[in-house]
Amino acid sequence: MVNAGFEGWPRAAFDVLLRLEGVPSLEVRRECRLEREELVRQPMIGLLNAMADADSAYEDFAVWRYGGVSLRAWQCQSANVRLSRNVELTVRFDLDGLEVGLAWWYGPSEQIERYRAAVAESASGRRLTGVLRKLERDGYAISGDRLKRPLRGYPADHPRAELLRHKSLIATRPLGAEDWIHTAAAADRILEAFTQLRPLSRWLIDNVR
């Protein structure tokens, strides 16, 4: 069980996000700034510290701080755990509760070429397909930036033609906002999801970095 001082998000965190819903005025955003930091962002920091205490693989994390940025940035709290170059675990807290994911994104051209070569190769490509199918069965949505047309240099009927078109690969799953979100059990839910995502992160680290 993960704890390390993390006790979940207080119920008042949702009240703060409700005040920031829609298009809040500058005055409202200023009024909510301190409460948002205390009730929304600080619990996210506590969560990621608890995760890092449970597994040192999660030590390299960032919890975004918001100032005069886009309105939607006030209405959610995001954090990333860096696993490798351009490979990150993601956590998001908003009015819908928690969402967890794994993203390989913003990859340079050499990473994208390594990804495509690994997808095209029989053994590694089939392994990725199996990993993604398992994640989909577990409730994850698979997405990412993709070319609009079939990739040149590969047969149009390639068995993994759709995966070859990807320039990024993202798996996300909503965890909801049940009562556990207000307790230390929220960290256990995130840790369980991170464990589910481990086969995909290993594939990406082995084949793309």
Give the residue extent of every domain in the chain: 12-207
Predicted confidence at residue 82, as pLDDT, reads 97
Contacts of 74-77 spanning 24+ positions with Cβ under 8 A: 74/20, 74/24, 74/29, 74/32, 74/36, 75/17, 75/20, 75/21, 76/17, 77/40, 77/41, 77/44
The yes-or-no verdict on residue 57 having pLDDT over 90 is: yes
pLDDT of amino acid 118: 97
Question: What average pLDDT does the structure give for the chain?
Answer: 93
Q: Is the pLDDT of residue 183 over 90?
A: yes
pLDDT of residue 41: 96
Please determine, for residue 68, whether its predicted confidence score (pLDDT) is greater than 80: no
**CATH class, 12-207 region:** alpha beta
| pLDDT, tens digit, 9 for 90 and up, residues 155-170 | 888 899 999 999 999 9
Question: In the predicted model, what is the mean pLDDT of residues 196-200?
Answer: 98
- Dist. CA 181–CA 146, nearest whole Å: 34
Give the contacts of 9 (CB within 8 A, at least 6 positions apart).
39, 40, 43, 93, 181, 182, 186
Type and span of the H or E element at 149: none
Query: pLDDT for 75-96, tens place per residue?
Result: 999 999 999 999 999 999 999 9
| pLDDT digits 0-9 by tens, 96-155 | 999 999 999 999 999 999 999 999 999 999 999 999 999 999 999 999 999 987 777 788
pLDDT beyond 60 at 14: yes
